[in-house]
Structure formats: structure tokens, C-alpha cells
Amino acid sequence: MAQILDGKALSQTLRNEIGEKTAHLKQTRGIQPGLGLLLVGDNPASQVYVSSKAKACEELGFYSVIIRQPADTSEGAVLRQVQEWNADPRIHGILVQLPLPKHIDEHKVLLAVAPQKDVDGFHPENVGRLVAGLPCFAPCTPAGVMEILSRYNIETKGKHAVVVGRSNIVGKPMANLLYQKAPNANAIVTICHTAAPDLTVFTKQADILVAAVGVPEALKGADMKDGVVVIDVGINRIADPTAPKGTRLVGDVHFASASERASAITPVPGGVGPMTIAMLMQNTYRSAAGEVY
Ligand code: GUN
């Protein structure tokens, strides 16, 4: 049976570590890490994510502020809020929750965030730094995956990592982190996506398989080789008449069949998801402590 990579427990360990470092930062340098969270519109999932991020700030002793703007807010109003935080010394991290309403140019908004406060790692400056192997804020979800791999002592050097998905938030930065010439990286990386006539040609070769497909239970055990390490980035709510709420959460991997093939696997929920918030806290701490820029 596969080892369960428990992101929930690991995220708690990380949060404890960050909490201790935060207390030390306050004591020695009088700095309290601060995070600005901007939520535009009323996407229910985004509301849950933003509240969880604010709650994590509170637990760790960070300063945080949530600004909510209506779905019909103007692009100018969003940009003004970002600029206000760029200039605010209490704010070390700025997070604009995505997706934004269609009439707002996402690229323009992400470009407005000062790279020094871009704790999501979405600004082209940080994207470029990541690719170049320079100090940067790495996007939180793939950074959380790297943390799982290293803390569970999973060898990545020389291993074939296959990333399924090419989004700016997960797939692209994931591939870049995995092949960096750095300790706990150094993997041989294949990135594949929906244009592949047959994804399983690639997934079957993976020593480490990262699924960020966005389709519930898309990858099955039969698509994997024995001993694979499976990292499931998907979070999908599907109908389940037998569940108390009538729905349940599943990943992009079919867990039961994959765990028969895998040597280790992240569950959903309780795998990659909780790590994302822990890494956001880590990035915000690193910004406040001046560890990146
Ligand atoms: N929407 C989905 N994932 C993310 C994320 O990591 N950061 C932000 N800002 N929005 C998201």
C-alpha cells in the first residue's frame, strides 16, 4: 500500500515553525508580517480561500486585512487598492484572489503588484527570477509540493517527473521548480497537457507524477507505473448521493486505483491543499524579514 503524504500534518508543522520565527522577528526587529487580501466578486470558493488565508494570518500573529470589492467594481478601483498596499509599510504581501471578473485585465492587475510584495509569485519579475534560478517568491501550490517532497525525503534528483497541466499557477512553475539545479530538485521534467493525443504515454513513464488537470479523477492507477510518487493538485467537488452533504471532494487522480500502484500519494482533501496556505504564510514571512529582495 502507498504511503500517505499527509499535507495537513506537514502544513501544521510548517505553521508552527513560521509562528516561532514570527515571534522572533517581532522581538528582535519589531516587524510584524502583514498580508493584504483582495477579493473581487462573490465566487464561493474564493470566499472560503480568502477567509482561510486570513485565519492563518491570525493564528501566526500576522497583521492582515481583507478588502472586498463587488463583482462590478472597476479595473481602476482594483489597481488603486493594489497601489495603496504597494505603498503601505504594514503590508509585506499582496494577494489578489483569482479568478477576477472578466471585465478586469488579470495580467494588468498582477503587473501592478510590487514584485517585492508579490507573495503569490505571479508577477512576471518573479516568474523570470524563478526560471533564471534567482531568489524569488515561488507560487504557493508548487512550492508546497516541493516542500512535501523534501520533508518526506523523496528523491527527486535524476527522477523523471511528469507534470500534467500547464497553468501559470501550477503546471509551469511546478516544472521550473522540479528541474532547478538545486538540492531537493534536479529532476528530469516532462510537462504535458490536453493537446497530447494520449496523456498516458507520458504518465506511465513518471517516477513522480504531478496531476493538475482540473478534471475529477482523470488519472487512474492503470495510467501509472508501479512505485510512482503521486502528487494530486486537483480539488473537485462531485455529486455523491451517499455522502451527508450529497457531494464530496476528489482530486484529479482516482485515489483508490492509484494508491494500489503508488509508493506514496497525496490524498484529497488533506494533501497539497493545506500546503498552499502554509507556503503563502512562509512567503509573507520571508517578505517581511527581507529574505528575498
Ligand atoms: N486562485 C486559485 N489559486 C490561487 C492562488 O494560489 N492565489 C490566488 N491569488 N488566487 C488563486
Of 144, 114, 180, residue with least CA distance to 277: 144
- Average of per-residue pLDDT across 223-251: 97
Q: What is the mean pLDDT of the chain?
A: 98
Give the pLDDT of residue 1: 85
Give pLDDT tens digits for 57-99. 999 999 999 999 999 999 999 999 999 999 999 999 999 999 9
Cα separation of 133 and 136, whole Å? 8
- The pTM of this model reads 0.97
Residue among 120, 233, 283 to mutate when testing ligand 1 (max atoms within 8 A of CB)? 120
Position in ligand 1 atom list of the atom nearest CA 139: 6
Cα separation of 190 and 209, whole Å? 10
For ligand 1, is residue 277 a contact (CB within 6 Å)? no
Give the pLDDT of residue 154: 98
- For residue 135, pLDDT over 90 is answered with yes
Active site residues: 53, 97, 120
Position in ligand 1 atom list of the atom nearest CA 46: 1
Angle between helix 140-151 and helix 7-29 axes, rounded to 10 deg: 110
For ligand 1, is residue 169 a contact (CB within 6 Å)? yes
- Average of per-residue pLDDT across 150-165: 98
Contact 64, 72 (CB under 8 A): no
Which domains, from first to last, does the chain contain?
A: 29-115 (3.40.50.10860), 140-274 (3.40.50.720)
Atom 4 of ligand 1, residue of closest alpha carbon: 98
- Please give the distance, rounded to the nearest whole angstrom, from the Cα atom of residue 169 to the centre of ligand 1: 7
Cα separation of 193 and 204, whole Å? 14
Give pLDDT tens digits for 167-212. 999 999 999 999 999 999 999 999 999 999 999 999 999 999 999 9
- Average of per-residue pLDDT across 241-260: 97
- Please give the distance, rounded to the nearest whole angstrom, from the Cα atom of residue 225 to the centre of ligand 1: 31
For ligand 1, is residue 140 a contact (CB within 6 Å)? yes
Atom 8 of ligand 1, residue of closest alpha carbon: 97
What single letter denotes the amino acid at residue 233?
V
- Please give the distance, rounded to the nearest whole angstrom, from the Cα atom of residue 114 to the centre of ligand 1: 17
Q: CB-based contacts of 173: which residues, under 8 Å, 6+ apart? A: 121, 127, 130, 138, 139, 142
What single letter denotes the amino acid at residue 58?
E
For ligand 1, is residue 96 a contact (CB within 6 Å)? yes
- Dig out the grid coordinates for 170 from the structure: 501550477
Of 161, 174, 171, 224, residue with least CA distance to 194: 171
- Please give the distance, rounded to the nearest whole angstrom, from the Cα atom of residue 97 to the centre of ligand 1: 5
Residue among 118, 167, 169 to mutate when testing ligand 1 (max atoms within 8 A of CB)? 169
